């Protein structure tokens, strides 16, 4: 199998074969036939955004203005979907605190559903769910259970709901029948415990990872003031690969051999994987001859590899080549800093491995010890040989050529070794030391390529978006700015970083003198400007110190420390700082500690943070991080309180979410001597108060001082470069490596 062919067929094959779910996002906040829930959920890594002209729980009270709801749903884990809902009515822009305002409800809430992991006859699924959690006004809260069975093209659902509010939709028994007419059309008949409906919906795939769904339904009864005609339009998409593809039971897809090997090798427990048996591809596909080395007249040299790495987007390159001798294969020791591949260390690693493997050739016994750096300090290490790397790309997880590096004596070692801090197992260290001692200094080749001064700036550009959603002041208020981030290396580990922000657009409530005026950039200026220094220390410890402006208002300094286990399962960190407000001269001394546990490497992390936050309030923050490729969804619960006599003296509790993802191409663009890329992580989120009877706008609680670049971002690859995380994302690394190998040079 050629690398171009592998790239064409394999990286997202599992997701491509997965059928789109028949259930649609209802305006009530769950996957449903029309308005009544089914036991089906959004698949793990799937997402949906829907718009409806109805709020089925209530009758429309205002003939003017708008009426409906927006729902955004995410498949966060196998069997678990979470849906955010924004229900609205009337004038969407006026201030509800003023009586002349012709607005109605602007209700922000969250709903969830979990499909139980049990097997039942007739392909029956069971699910439990809730609606309308969060905020001071929970007008639609209910709890329900539902069962769905599939009989050929029919989905039959029966359930029971218990309302916790008089206006909740589900009150007693409900049920539905969905008939799949073909791959695109489905008809549904339901009773949602209040009204009966007949509907039709149409599904149109817009690509492998995107689909459009539109639907219409007509009320058959008239027990409530529910909309007679209900229209719905939605987009469904795949956020990214998950470590273990989740397939609906009625249409399972056989995994590829390479995917099966990765699932087996992915360390879901900390036990050594010595008992794992890789599932190889057919021998015809595993022959390393698919990658031919350069001719003997143009064998790779240290200088040639250094120049090739420069062409692939690396700088500050050093290469040492020790030729084969005394029964030992040739060894390449490479150190390089990525300038083009900054959004993900996986992409940088794939580019560097491909740059070495392509000219060396898969038949060679040459070994590679690769170190990637950030600000000229090491952050990621890889160790392999050419034959094993070629086999790893085609599905191997272990390789006989790495026997000396096995966790258990006598077993094949990993075909590709990865390490965050370079503290290799004893067998690896002994082998490397032997290679260094046996190498002849006269025969070794060395090459160094700076690719320009280290201080050449690297730029990232993207939007700065601040929003207020579903408030009494308006349905959606916003402030949009253009942000230009800059990094300049001054010495190993020492760099300046800043974010220049230019205001672009904003809604009325962000204008001067309005409620949100203080939360938008008023003029062109730096949102942050910091001099930072970071250093990797032994035993998985790293530290960073920063001084300057953490934002437009606070200047001072902070120190961060981080410890992570080699497998990445556990991370402990601490932050201490001292800042002074530029205008009020108020001094803040944040002091925070956090612990993070990776339950499912590469996919799910839990984190607890406690201490004194930037605003002076004290308390804790609990968060759940869900990764889908480069997309991350963070759910959080926060409980903090400030000192008596301050603006934060009252105890406040919040729940919310943040969605973050990189923007633009994966590779930065070279503009002469500098590089320009999209934002490494664009983030947007919402939060709402819980546990309070009032719905008064509250800002500033639970803020943490954060440097844009450093320990928590580039050093740890946004907290995902532990060994287990990298192994769980082997499919993505294979795709990056194959893409680089297939690219012309």
Average pLDDT over residues 501-519: 91
Phi, psi torsion values for 501, nearest 5 degrees: -120, 135
From the list 84, 711, 25, 31, the residue with the least C-alpha distance to 421 is 711
Instruction: Give the span between the Cα atoms of 471 and 96, in whole angstroms.
Output: 9
Instruction: Give the span between the Cα atoms of 663 and 462, in whole angstroms.
Output: 7
Q: Is 476 exposed, middle or buried (0-12, 13-18, 19+ CB in 10 A)?
A: middle
User: Does position 223 have pLDDT exceeding 70, yes or no?
Assistant: yes
Beta bridge partners of 563: 541, 572
Question: Beta strand pairing status for 331-338 and 367-374?
Answer: parallel
Order of all β-strands in the sheet with 417-419? 417-419, 377-385, 367-374, 331-338, 314-322, 445-449
Secondary structure of 71-107 as H, E, C letters: EEEEEEECCEEEEEEEEEEECCCCCCCCCCCCEEEEE
Say which residue the tokens 């790779």 belong to.
300
* pLDDT of res. 166: 86
From the list 74, 13, 44, the residue with the least C-alpha distance to 246 is 44
- pLDDT-derived band at 102, boundaries 50, 70, 90: confident
Average pLDDT over residues 69-98: 92
% of residues, the chain, pLDDT over 90:
60
Neighbours of 637 (CB within 10 A): 15
Q: Is 547 exposed, middle or buried (0-12, 13-18, 19+ CB in 10 A)?
A: middle
User: Does position 39 have pLDDT exceeding 70, yes or no?
Assistant: yes
Report in angstroms the alpha-carbon separations of 128 from 38, 593, 676. Answer: 10, 35, 47
User: Does position 272 have pLDDT exceeding 50, yes or no?
Assistant: no
Report in angstroms the alpha-carbon separations of 731 from 7, 14, 266. Answer: 11, 11, 11
Report in angstroms the alpha-carbon separations of 41 from 81, 233, 243, 631. Answer: 6, 18, 19, 20
CB 738 within 8 A of CB 346: no
Average pLDDT over residues 388-398: 90
* pLDDT of res. 277: 36
User: Does position 426 have pLDDT exceeding 80, yes or no?
Assistant: no
What's the whole-number average pLDDT of the chain?
85
Average pLDDT over residues 276-293: 41
Instruction: Give the span between the Cα atoms of 401 and 417, in whole angstroms.
Output: 12
pLDDT in tens, 653-666: 999 999 999 999 99
* SS3 category, 532: strand
Residue with more model confidence, 292 or 602:
602
CB 521 within 8 A of CB 504: no
Phi, psi torsion values for 144, nearest 5 degrees: -155, 160
pLDDT in tens, 463-472: 999 999 988 8
Instruction: Give the span between the Cα atoms of 520 and 522, in whole angstroms.
Output: 6
pLDDT in tens, 664-679: 999 999 998 899 999 9
Instruction: Give the span between the Cα atoms of 580 and 578, in whole angstroms.
Output: 7
Report in angstroms the alpha-carbon separations of 646 from 577, 616, 642, 651. Answer: 20, 9, 7, 12
% of residues, the chain, pLDDT over 70:
85
The number of residues in the chain equals 745
Instruction: Give the span between the Cα atoms of 113 and 25, in whole angstroms.
Output: 12
CB 82 within 8 A of CB 76: yes
- pLDDT-derived band at 403, boundaries 50, 70, 90: low
The pair of three-digit structure tokens given for residue 677, joined into one six-digit string: 């890329």
User: Does position 533 have pLDDT exceeding 60, yes or no?
Assistant: yes
**Helix, strand, coil % (nearest 5) of the chain?**
15, 45, 40
Element (H, E) at 346: helix 345-360
CB 384 within 8 A of CB 415: yes
Instruction: Give the span between the Cα atoms of 113 and 243, in whole angstroms.
Output: 22
Instruction: Give the span between the Cα atoms of 3 and 317, in whole angstroms.
Output: 26
Neighbours of 117 (CB within 10 A): 9
* pLDDT of res. 165: 87
User: Following DSSP, what letter does each residue of 309-337 receive, concatenated?
Assistant: HHHTTEEEEEEEEE--BTTBPPEEEEEEE
Average pLDDT over residues 605-629: 96
Instruction: Give the span between the Cα atoms of 720 and 4, in whole angstroms.
Output: 28
Average pLDDT over residues 335-359: 95
The pair of three-digit structure tokens given for residue 739, joined into one six-digit string: 């893409």
pLDDT in tens, 286-345: 344 445 554 443 578 899 999 999 999 999 999 999 888 777 788 899 999 999 999 999
Instruction: Give the span between the Cα atoms of 561 and 465, in whole angstroms.
Output: 29
Say which residue the tokens 């794939």 belong to.
350
* pLDDT of res. 401: 77
Phi, psi torsion values for 414, nearest 5 degrees: -65, 140
* pLDDT of res. 404: 60
Average pLDDT over residues 254-260: 33
Q: What is the DSSP letter of 244?
A: S
pLDDT in tens, 153-168: 999 999 999 999 888 9
User: Does position 417 have pLDDT exceeding 80, yes or no?
Assistant: yes
User: Does position 264 have pLDDT exceeding 80, yes or no?
Assistant: no
Let me know the angle formed at the C-alpha of 54 by 53 and 55, rounded to the nearest 5 degrees.
145
Instruction: Give the span between the Cα atoms of 393 and 281, in whole angstroms.
Output: 11
Full set of structural domains in the chain with CATH: 19-238 (2.40.160.40), 274-290+299-452+729-742 (no CATH), 458-709 (2.40.160)
From the list 27, 33, 36, the residue with the least C-alpha distance to 58 is 27
* pLDDT of res. 23: 65
Task: Give the least confident one: 138-152, 212-226, 330-344, 405-419.
Answer: 405-419
Instruction: Give the span between the Cα atoms of 410 and 388, in whole angstroms.
Output: 17
Task: Give the least confident one: 58-67, 88-97, 290-299, 321-330.
Answer: 290-299
* pLDDT of res. 488: 97
Around 512, how many Cα atoms within 13 Å sit in the side-chain half-sphere?
Answer: 3
Beta bridge partners of 122: none
pTM: 0.88
- pLDDT-derived band at 5, boundaries 50, 70, 90: very low
Say which residue the tokens 């995380």 belong to.
725
pLDDT in tens, 8-35: 444 333 333 444 555 689 999 999 999 9
Rg (CA), the chain: 28
* pLDDT of res. 745: 64
The pair of three-digit structure tokens given for residue 332, joined into one six-digit string: 């390449």
Instruction: Give the span between the Cα atoms of 740 and 349, in whole angstroms.
Output: 11
Element (H, E) at 305: helix 302-311
Question: Beta strand pairing status for 185-191 and 196-207?
Answer: antiparallel
């Amino acid at each position: 199998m050629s690398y171009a062919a592998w790239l064409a067929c394999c990286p997202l094959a599992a997701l491509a074969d997965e059928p789109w779910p028949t259930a649609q996002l209802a305006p009530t906040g769950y996957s449903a036939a029309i308005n009544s829930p089914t036991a089906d959920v959004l698949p793990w890594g799937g997402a949906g955004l829907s718009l409806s002209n109805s709020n089925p729980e209530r009758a429309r009270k205002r003939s003017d203005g708008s009426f409906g709801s927006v729902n955004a749903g995410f498949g966060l884990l196998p069997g678990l979907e979470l849906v955010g809902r924004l229900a609205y009515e009337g004038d969407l822009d006026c201030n509800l605190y003023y009586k002349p305002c012709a607005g109605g409800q602007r209700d922000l809430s969250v709903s969830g559903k979990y499909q139980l992991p049990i097997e039942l006859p007739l392909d029956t699924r069971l699910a439990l769910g809730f609606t309308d959690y969060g905020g001071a006004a929970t007008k639609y809260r209910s709890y329900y259970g539902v069962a769905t069975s599939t009989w050929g093209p029919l989905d039959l659902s029966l359930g029971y709901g218990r309302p916790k509010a008089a206006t909740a939709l589900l009150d007693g028994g409900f049920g539905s029948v969905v008939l799949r007419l073909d791959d695109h059309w489905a008809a549904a008949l339901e009773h949602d415990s209040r009204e009966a409906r007949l509907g039709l919906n149409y599904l149109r795939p817009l690509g492998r990872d995107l689909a459009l769904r539109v639907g219409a339904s007509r009320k058959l009864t008239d027990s409530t003031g529910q909309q007679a005609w209900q229209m719905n339009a939605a987009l469904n998409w795949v956020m990214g690969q998950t470590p273990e593809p989740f397939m609906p039971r009625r249409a399972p897809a056989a995994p590829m051999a390479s995917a099966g090997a990765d699932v087996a090798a992915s360390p879901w427990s900390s036990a050594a994987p010595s008992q794992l048996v890789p599932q190889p591809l057919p021998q015809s596909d595993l022959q390393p001859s698919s990658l031919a080395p350069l001719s003997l007249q143009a064998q790779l040299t240290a200088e040639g590899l250094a120049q090739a790495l420069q062409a692939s987007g690396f700088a500050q390159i050093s290469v040492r080549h020790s030729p084969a001798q005394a029964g030992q294969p040739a060894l390449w020791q490479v150190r390089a800093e990525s300038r083009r591949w900054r959004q993900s260390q996986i992409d940088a690693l794939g580019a560097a491995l491909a740059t070495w493997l392509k000219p060396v050739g898969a038949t060679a016994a040459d070994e590679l010890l690769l170190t990637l750096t950030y600000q000229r300090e090491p952050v990621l290490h890889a160790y392999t040989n050419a034959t094993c790397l070629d086999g790893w790309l085609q599905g191997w997880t272990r390789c006989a050529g790495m026997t000396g590096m096995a966790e258990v004596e006598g077993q094949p070692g990993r075909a590709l070794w990865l390490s965050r801090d370079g503290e290799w197992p004893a067998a690896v260290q002994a082998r490397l030391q032997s290679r260094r001692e046996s190498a002849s200094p006269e025969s070794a080749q060395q090459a160094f390529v700076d690719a320009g001064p280290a201080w050449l700036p690297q730029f990232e550009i993207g939007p700065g978006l601040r929003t207020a959603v579903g408030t009494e002041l308006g349905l959606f208020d916003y402030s949009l700015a253009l942000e230009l981030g800059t990094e300049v290396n001054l010495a190993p580990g020492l760099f300046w970083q800043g974010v220049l922000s230019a205001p672009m657009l904003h809604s009325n409530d962000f204008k001067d003198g309005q409620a949100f005026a203080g939360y938008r950039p008023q003029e062109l200026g730096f949102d942050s400007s910091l001099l930072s220094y970071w250093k990797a220390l032994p035993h998985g410890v790293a530290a960073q110190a920063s001084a300057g402006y953490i934002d437009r208002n606070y200047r001072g300094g902070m120190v961060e420390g981080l410890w992570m286990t080699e497998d990445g399962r556990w991370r402990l960190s601490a932050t201490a700082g001292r800042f002074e407000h530029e205008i009020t001269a108020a001094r803040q001394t944040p002091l925070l500690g956090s612990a993070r546990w990776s339950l499912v490497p590469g996919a799910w992390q839990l984190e607890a943070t406690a201490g004194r936050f930037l605003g002076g309030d004290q308390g804790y923050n609990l968060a759940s991080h869900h990764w889908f490729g480069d997309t991350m969804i963070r759910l959080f619960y926060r409980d903090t309180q400030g000192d008596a006599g301050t603006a934060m003296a009252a105890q406040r509790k919040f729940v919310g979410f943040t969605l973050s993802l990189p923007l633009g191409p994966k590779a930065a663009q070279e503009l002469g001597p500098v590089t320009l890329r999209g934002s490494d992580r664009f983030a947007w989120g919402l939060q709402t108060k819980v546990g309070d009877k009032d719905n008064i706008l509250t800002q500033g609680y639970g803020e943490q001082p954060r440097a844009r670049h450093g320990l928590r971002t580039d050093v740890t690859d946004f907290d995902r470069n532990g060994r287990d995380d990298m192994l769980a994302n082997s499919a993505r690394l294979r795709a990056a490596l194959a893409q680089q190998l297939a690219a012309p040079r």
